[in-house]
Amino acid sequence: MEQEKSASSSVENQKPIAISSELKERILNAFWVCDDCGNAFGRNPKTGTDRLSTYSPGKCDICEEEKIVTQFRDFGYNKPL
């Protein structure tokens, strides 16, 4: 219970990041993301082996590169923009 409180408060305390309007639109509409973009723009970056996801080859909706991707929900969707 105590861990849940600290995790939710850390998300609420995140400051918005400065990005271009084009990138912001891609982040807000992202469904498939690579680990790099998920960790950079997601609310809950993956660390170690604490979380599992299903990955497949595809195009990242944020960086638009062909990579191994998973759903953005696996990273808690986007940080406040």
pLDDT at 13: 55
For tokens 């923009």, name the residue.
81
Q: Six-digit token pair at 33?
A: 């993301």
What are the residue ranges spanned by the domains of the chain? 2-75
Q: What share of the chain is helix, strand, coil (3-state, %, to 5)?
A: 35, 15, 45
- Dist CA 27 CA 37 (whole Å): 9
Q: What is the pLDDT of residues 21-79, one digit of tens each?
A: 999 999 999 999 999 999 899 888 776 666 778 899 999 999 999 999 999 998 888 88
Predicted TM-score (pTM) of this structure: 0.70
Name the CA radius of gyration of the chain, rounded.
Answer: 13
The whole-number average pLDDT for the span 6-21 is: 60
Q: Tell me, what amino acid is at 67?
A: K
pLDDT at 23: 92
Q: Which helix (H) or strand (E) holds 66?
A: strand 66-71
